[in-house]
Structure 1
Amino acid sequence: MRLRLLLLALGTFAMGTDSMVMAGILDRIARDTGVSVASAGQLVTVFALGYALLAPVLATLTARWDRRRLLLTALAVFTAANVLSALAPNYPFLLATRVLAAAGAALYTPTANAVATTLVPPERRGRAIATVLGGMTVATALGVPVGAYLGRTDWRWTMWLVVALGAAALLGLAALLRGLPAPAMAPGLRERLAPLHDRRVAGAAATTFVFFLAFQAVYIYLATADRPATGGDQDRLSLILLVNGVASVAGSWLGGRAVDRAGVRTVLLLAGGLTTLALTALPWLSRSLPGALAYAAIAPVAGWAMSVALPHRLASIDPPNAALLISINSSALYLGTAAGGGTGSLAIALLGERWFPLAAAALGALAVLIAAATTRPTAAAAQPAATTTQPAAAVTPPAPRAR
């Protein structure tokens, strides 16, 4: 059982590396393709936007597919897309391959989360989701710094690393993932979007969108923000990304346990507030390498703790429809990431390379305010344990496509 969860996490590790490693190689992509760094940052925007828009559509089209077949197809599409990225002759072609990679990720990640909940007892389903999502956090700790290091001379080597990871996940799942339950139902696109009429769901989705808009507006351009600390040295940037990744793993681990103990609302407010403070301090911390490392150690802990609390919150609103609600959270997350690329670029243009994190800090504060206004203190504090099991229990039967 544990092995199959780890295989699912291997797939999210490959996709997490692909989506997040761009922060470490944007300069080289820009130079090689003859575009600005801001334009290169739109590779992240296109991936995230493609994921957000394609996830509900592809989920509807493949809702009756066998889960194993769907996972393997998604990994095959994702891996092939990265082969094309590595071979891309120009910037427009590279943009197109990012959309194809997003399609593979949009098929794989939600299904992997839903499948994970079918492999464990109800009381452990929340941790099963955390294990699969852990592939994303480990990607920030391992895949991103390794990919950035490989790409210091040629960014295409980074893409080949992602290809190798995707192929390994595909082969492992093909060999060892068997006996998955058939999908129980196939909700249409309208049914998937219907929960947005609930104000609680809309408030939760808005929190997710604004928070990731703030967080990604800086992360995508972290190399730019930390240039005073790194002096353009790729080894220093790789070190910052490594610390950032280790802190992300810690944040994901701590976030899951904090939700169990303190409740979703407490985690949302504390983690969101700490992230906002870190973003506010970044223009001063980035002046030196120790300061940049301090930011890399603090902000991801809070950010990833927040990312664990957000889907728990949505799923607990209506447990029988948790799978649909998690899919809304996923789309809001990637829409925020997509908008983060453009927002970060605009903030750099308006405020400059040093001060643009302050725009993200203002958005982070807005996310905290939305969370405070749309959550109930008593419900979050009184039933922390329920939040852990409810999402998992609901993800299983209704719609294995969790996003």
Structure 2
Amino acid sequence: MTATTSTAPNRWAVPVLGFGTFAVGTCEFVLAGLLPQLSSTLLVSIGTAGQVVTAFALTCALLAPALATATASWPRRRVLLLATGVYLLGNVSTALAPTFPLVIAAQIVAAAGAGLFVPTAAVTASALVPAEQRGRAIAVVTTGFTAATAMGAPLGTALGAIFGWRVTMWFVAGLAVLGLLGLVRLVPAEVATPAAEGLRERLAPLADRRVLVVLATTLVAFTAVYLPYTYIGAVFGPATGGSGVRLAVLLFLLGVIGTVGNYVAGVLADRFGSSRVVAFALVWLVAALLVLPLTTGGFGWAMAEIALYGIAAFAITTPQQHRLITLSPESAPVLVSLNAAILYLAIALSGIVGAVGIAWAGPQLLGPIAAALAATALLLSTRIR
């Protein structure tokens, strides 16, 4: 059964959902910039600190489909409020956590809220507008992630560098409070949504071999993408001199360049086809990752490498989603949610693989390891017919 919207939604309802995604994304992406501080203040290695990223992403990947299915029949605003409240609780607990294991536990709680919020926000945004405006509404929500990369993560990293990582977590919690107030004030209590799907229906597209190969490409490609991102503080440590402010500049540059790369990739995919754009981006990514070890000695070289790497890294996202939708347009919402879960899994793997790589040969080897993964993704991508 579906709910009905009793009154016309406020025109700020969709933007507030985008702000909520920005708050969620800021926590996810700022963790990479905080790893050096977590390592030094909680007395763990940088590789161990990186497992906070793994825990967050893996929780999102595993719990998001199950939580979305369990709450599918609930009113959308209730689900959004619950998700934001759980996310807020996790980040407040992180700010207060005295030990690293408790930080991990608190971030698992935050990730459960984040994993539930994002797909619910996208579905709610599409239900709040006429059919011809749904694409733009969903774009507003997903743009929150881009804004988190370009603004939230750098600002949070800079705050952490100046005042300590706990202040950053209070900052993230503050964003969640603002999002919570916005949801209460602007999102209707009842929103018409499509009939709820069971978990079996959500996973049905996995029976298509082509879908599996596209998702496998996403998994390997984004493990390569997030390997240097997750440990960006360690990789570019020589260039930043341990300065959190300089690291924030690199993150800001990466976010801006990535936004441009993502947009250009979408335009090129319409003109030349998604498969060609993905292949070109992966070749570019391999080259950028291979030269990464040569660019970490100076800040200027580091900025140039970030620009080179950022364009290719973010140029993969939109064409990959387009490939999935093209395979089965009638299953588009399910396919996009599966792709998002795989993306979270890739982030989790980047934390694990990166920790092993650092322990084995130091952070400077992460570039070549990621390049090998990107080359593997390129081979997988060519097998999609």
Q: Deviations over 1:274-325 (max 9, x none)?
A: 2222111111122221111012223222222211222222222222222221
> Would the aligned equivalents of 1:11 and 1:166 in 2 still touch at CA under 8 Å?
yes
Correspondent of 1:260 among 270, 285, 290: 270
Aligned residue for 2:44? Answer: 35
> Would the aligned equivalents of 2:285 and 2:312 in 1 still touch at CA under 8 Å?
yes
Q: Distance in 1 between matches of 2:315 and 2:177?
A: 30
Aligned residue for 2:94? Answer: 85
Structure 1: 5+ residue stretches without partners: 376-403
Alpha-carbon spacing, 1:306–1:127, altered in 2? closer, same or farther (3 Å): farther
Correspondent of 1:302 among 308, 312, 331: 312
Letter in 2 for 1:204: V
Q: Distance in 1 between matches of 2:361 and 2:89?
A: 39
> Would the aligned equivalents of 2:19 and 2:144 in 1 still touch at CA under 8 Å?
yes
- Of 318-327 and 156-165, deviating more is 318-327
> Would the aligned equivalents of 2:56 and 2:110 in 1 still touch at CA under 8 Å?
yes
Aligned residue for 2:322? Answer: 312
Letter in 2 for 1:9: G
* TM-score, normalisation: structure 1: 0.88
Alpha-carbon spacing, 1:144–1:316, altered in 2? closer, same or farther (3 Å): same
Aligned residue for 2:195? Answer: 185
Q: Distance in 1 between matches of 2:380 and 2:329?
A: 22
Shift of 1:360: 0.4
> Would the aligned equivalents of 2:124 and 2:193 in 1 still touch at CA under 8 Å?
no
1:94 matches 2:103: yes
Aligned residue for 1:129? Answer: 138
1:17 matches 2:26: yes
Q: Distance in 2 between matches of 1:251 and 1:202?
A: 26
Aligned residue for 2:7? Answer: none
Report the secondary structure of 2:342's partner residue: helix
- Of 113-122 and 283-292, deviating more is 113-122
Report the secondary structure of 2:315's partner residue: helix
Q: Distance in 1 between matches of 2:140 and 2:259?
A: 11
Alpha-carbon spacing, 1:105–1:73, altered in 2? closer, same or farther (3 Å): same
1:343 matches 2:348: no
Letter in 2 for 1:118: A
Letter in 1 for 2:384: T
> Would the aligned equivalents of 1:11 and 1:135 in 2 still touch at CA under 8 Å?
yes
- After the TM superposition, which residues 2-401 of structure 1 pair with which residues of structure 2 at under 5 Å, given as runs? 3-122=12-131, 124-152=133-161, 153-178=163-188, 181-375=191-385
> Would the aligned equivalents of 1:53 and 1:331 in 2 still touch at CA under 8 Å?
yes
Alpha-carbon spacing, 1:316–1:118, altered in 2? closer, same or farther (3 Å): farther
User: What fraction of aligned residue pairs are identical, expressed as a percent?
Assistant: 44
> Would the aligned equivalents of 1:137 and 1:252 in 2 still touch at CA under 8 Å?
no
Alpha-carbon spacing, 1:94–1:173, altered in 2? closer, same or farther (3 Å): same
Alpha-carbon spacing, 1:129–1:266, altered in 2? closer, same or farther (3 Å): farther
Alpha-carbon spacing, 1:55–1:132, altered in 2? closer, same or farther (3 Å): same
> Would the aligned equivalents of 1:134 and 1:249 in 2 still touch at CA under 8 Å?
no
Letter in 1 for 2:257: A
Report the secondary structure of 2:72's partner residue: coil
Q: Deviations over 1:257-281 (max 9, x none)?
A: 3333333212211222222221111
Letter in 2 for 1:242: F
Alpha-carbon spacing, 1:180–1:215, altered in 2? closer, same or farther (3 Å): farther
Shift of 1:121: 4.8
Q: Distance in 2 between matches of 1:139 and 1:17?
A: 5
Letter in 2 for 1:159: M
Alpha-carbon spacing, 1:118–1:251, altered in 2? closer, same or farther (3 Å): farther
Alpha-carbon spacing, 1:5–1:257, altered in 2? closer, same or farther (3 Å): farther
- Of 168-177 and 271-280, deviating more is 271-280
> How large is the Cα RMSD of the aligned pairs?
1.8
* TM-score, normalisation: structure 2: 0.92
Q: Deviations over 1:169-191 (max 9, x none)?
A: 11112211227643332222222
Q: Distance in 1 between matches of 2:223 and 2:312?
A: 15
Alpha-carbon spacing, 1:168–1:225, altered in 2? closer, same or farther (3 Å): same
Letter in 2 for 1:239: V
Letter in 1 for 2:371: A
Q: Distance in 1 between matches of 2:264 and 2:190?
A: 30
Report the secondary structure of 1:178's partner residue: coil
> Would the aligned equivalents of 1:25 and 1:155 in 2 still touch at CA under 8 Å?
yes
Q: Deviations over 1:347-396 (max 9, x none)?
A: 22223222221000110111122122214xxxxxxxxxxxxxxxxxxxxx
Q: Distance in 1 between matches of 2:277 and 2:180?
A: 35
Letter in 1 for 2:143: G
Q: Distance in 2 between matches of 1:251 and 1:177?
A: 32
Q: Deviations over 1:27-62 (max 9, x none)?
A: 111122121111110000000000110011111101
Structure 2: 5+ residue stretches without partners: 1-9
Aligned length: 375
Alpha-carbon spacing, 1:308–1:68, altered in 2? closer, same or farther (3 Å): same
